[in-house]
Amino acid sequence: MKSIQIHQIQINDNQQIASIIREVLTEYGGNMKGTAYYDADTDNMSSAYKNDGQIYYVALLNDELVGGCGIQQLKGDDAAYCELQKLYILKKARGLGIGKMLTEKCLQFAENYGYKYCYLETLPNMIEAQNIYLKFNFQYLSQQIGNTGHNSCNVWMLKKF
């Protein structure tokens, strides 16, 4: 039986989640400037998500950290907008519902906090992730909003709460 646990990121999760983010991005050809691969926050996620209105969750499969996802206010937009960020799951842990669980937990946090819209950016070939987002009623946008610095991510989606 597979045991899945989700908790808020802790300082001792930083190195593992940074490694997971970079591994998954490399798998999808996203190991380039303009993605989370080079974000300053990627190596210190517990500090990057410690303020009011933001959270990052990590998922453990049989006590092994296998992925994560977070929420922050969308940079460069008003306070009604948050961004679903850094949903990355190791290949060996996909297909078990972990991405859906993390997304649901993040969206619940965002709605409870009072955000009115949730935005996200992804890569075109991250089809599995896009399928999760569509199940949560995200809609595709024709252009980027906010100022995320992720100009290499050219698929944009938005959900209204």
Partners of 156 in the β-ladder: 121, 141
pTM to 2 decimal places: 0.96
Judged against a pLDDT cut of 90, whether residue 88 lies above it is answered with yes
Task: Provide the residue range defining the domain that includes 54.
Answer: 4-160
Which pLDDT score, from 0 to 100, does residue 77 have?
80
Cα 9 from Cα 15, distance rounded (Å): 11
In the chain, how many domains are there? 1
pLDDT digits (tens, 9 = 90+) for 22-76: 999 999 999 999 999 999 899 999 999 999 999 999 999 999 999 999 999 999 8
Which pLDDT score, from 0 to 100, does residue 152 have?
85
Q: What is the CATH number of the domain that holds 113?
A: 3.40.630.30
pLDDT-derived band at 150, boundaries 50, 70, 90: confident
Place of tokens 């969206």: 107
